[in-house]
Chains A and B, each alone.
Chain A
Amino acid sequence: MYRKQVRRRRAVLTLLVIGSFLLLTITYGQGSGGLQRGVSTIFSPLQSVADRALKPARDLAGWFDKTFEARGENSRLEEALADARRKAVAGQEALQENAQMRKLLALDSGPVLAESGYEPVTARVIARSPTVWHSAVTVDVGSGDGVRVDDPVISGDGLVGLVASAQGGSAQVTLITDHTSAVSAKILPAGVQGVIRPEVGDPEDLVLDFIDSSRDVGGGQAVVTSGWRAQGLASLFPPGLPVGEVTTASIVEQAASQQVHLRPYADLANLDLVQVLTGGPRR
């Protein structure tokens, strides 16, 4: 009797392990399957309810964490504020000059998004992946709201990620900190271009690779999406979306290039409201 039980137990375990490997083999790299889309559609209303119900508890826990963090941030922010004041003065001058130039060139002075024809759809984050290995969130808008796969997603601070899959009322967004993410970007004001890759496990650090070592890159410089277009192909992101700020730049001797580290503007760990940029030009 006992042996029979043990045999049955082993059989079930073997079946489950084989099942897992089979699922991995079948679904890896295939995008979202019908099963996943179906389950997401069924569960997205539940996730929305859970998200709203748990928001006060989340805010309370977040308040404790932020309080500890704020103490360390204070001195850094004071320095940043002084620097920002200096830049703001210079920025005012540049804005004035810019407006004059736009008038001269008869260009539309609208924002980046209006120029590129995107229509932002505001969404609430309702779920988040539990591991650092798969950096993704679920939002409460989907194909019913005009959201499509590969639509860029932004927050009030900057670029967040890309829609990986969309169902009727929800969509999964792969964050720029996911290991599969790659964003072509440029450093301002020089316009040096490179590809932003994440560093798995550190959401506060992104790496901008393939930067010519002769180019002068310094801390505090802004990084925005480059939005390239060539030979019928185009970047999934419109140009000019703020991504982050350069923290350090180090030269890679063997590759004659430099590796630039940047801190993303968007608080990717505490996303609440985001905007999905729908309806833009497609590849």
Chain B
Amino acid sequence: MIVTPRIFARLAAIALLAVLLQLSFFSRVELLGTSADILPIVVIALGLLGGSMSGAVAGFSIGLLVDCLLVAPLGGSSLVLLGAGYLAGLFRERFEIHSALLPPLLCMGLTLSAELGFAAVQLMLGVEAPISTLVVRDMLLKSIFAFFLAWPIYFGLRRFLRPALVEESKVSRRRQPTVLGT
């Protein structure tokens, strides 16, 4: 990803919008007893589009913003989301994304890992109350929601960040018609 000041502003806007949407909408809409979490999806999508560095930095920043707004212990969400973003970016750097099904599947798998990561961080910090088995259902449902939400989010972000994407700009340059004799 080529990060110019304009692209940086776009990335900041994406992070801000994602956090606001999550806290004011997705967290407050219950489906099948749980709510969707778009933050791992946005971070994973940014990792898949921009590489491991973009994914890790986006994950860290979004996690920090969420923890600040919810007055939760700082660093917990950052740690988990930066891991998810970094892994997504690493995948993009090592493998080709041939199929349109691959990003949603990756989002599903990595969201499940992120949810497990959240649980691990919380357990590490100490949970004083008993833990219901419904936590597992919550994690699985969140990752299934991630599969469906990844389609609009990944493809929407790819469109929004197209000028910054290395491969996309190469393709568009290649497709420009050649005018002979000039």
Please list the residues of chain A having a beta carbon within 8 angstroms of any beta carbon in chain B. 9, 12-13, 16-17, 19-29, 32-33, 35-37, 39-40, 43, 46-47, 50-51, 54, 57-58, 61-62, 64-65, 125-134, 136, 138, 164-165, 172, 179-182, 197-202, 205, 207, 269-270
Contacts and interface: CB of A to CB of B under 8 A. Distances in A.
Given A54-B24, A128-B27, A133-B119, A36 B75 contact: no
6 contacts: A24-B75, A36-B74, A58-B28, A129-B27, A201-B135, A201-B138
Interface residues of B, number: 58
B74 A24 contact: yes
B113 to A, nearest CB: 14
Could you tell me the dominant secondary structure of chain B's interface residues?
helix
A128 B82 contact: no
Given A39-B65, A47-B20, A132-B135, A12 B71 contact: no
Nearest to A48: B24
Q: Which of B28, B56, B122, B128 has the most CB of A within 10 A?
A: B28
A27 B73 contact: yes
B132 A202 contact: yes
Given A46-B20, A65-B31, A130-B66, A172 B71 contact: yes
Nearest to B51: A9
Nearest to A178: B129
B26 A130 contact: yes
Contacts of B66: 130
Q: Which of A19, A27, A164, A201 has the most CB of B within 10 A?
A: A201
Interface in B9-63: 20-32, 34-35, 37, 39, 52-53, 56-57, 60, 63
Contacts of B136: 201
Given A35-B74, A134-B72, A165-B71, A16 B57 contact: yes
B133 interface: yes
Nearest to B127: A179
B68 to A, nearest CB: 4
